[in-house]
Amino acid sequence: MTTTASDYRPKPGSTAHSVCAFFAKNPEEELSTQDVAQKFDVKPASVAMHLTGALTAQLLSRPRPGTYAAGPQLAQWDAGDDPTRRTAARRYTPIDIEAVPIVKARPVPTVDTQCGRVSPYLLLWNRMEPGDSVDLPRKRMESFRAWAKRNKVTLTVRQLGVDTYGCWKSAQ
């Protein structure tokens, strides 16, 4: 059974795919084994192995020993998942600064939001006055301490029992 361009597709991202995409854009070019190795970052000794399927499917040809060119079936080949096409679509688009609306005199929210909800530790912190303390189990104390560190507030913690910790709101 002979492999044809219709049933062989180089895997996107493979050396064969990259070489076929190159020749699809540059059908008149010819590359030596050394050129392919350097351009597509493979060892010269492995170039033939990488391109065997594309040669069999006649996507590539060898006009002379050690030289690669576009094959007769390359014109029918569709790069399809060409990684260079996907990358081009994801490129950064500059923002139109003039189109960004400016909101005047909006107060800064005093809520600490996590995934769209108010942090329970912010509510607890706001209820406490300097010197007040709460008793929490170890896991809750660790979460409260992490919240305090993220929000740059001073929280003093002491172990009170086996799994009980006192958390004091310190003066700012």
Strands of the sheet containing 133-136, edge to edge, are 133-136, 165-169, 155-159
Domains and CATH numbers, the chain: 15-87 (1.10.10.10), 113-169 (no CATH)
Say if residues 151 and 112 touch (Cβ distance below 8 Å): yes
Q: What is the pLDDT of residues 92-113, one digit of tens each?
A: 667 777 877 777 776 665 555 5
Is the pTM value of this prediction over 0.75?
no
pLDDT digits (tens, 9 = 90+) for 118-141: 788 888 888 888 888 899 989 999
Residue 50 — left, alpha, or beta (φ > 0 → left; ψ -120 to 50 → alpha)? alpha
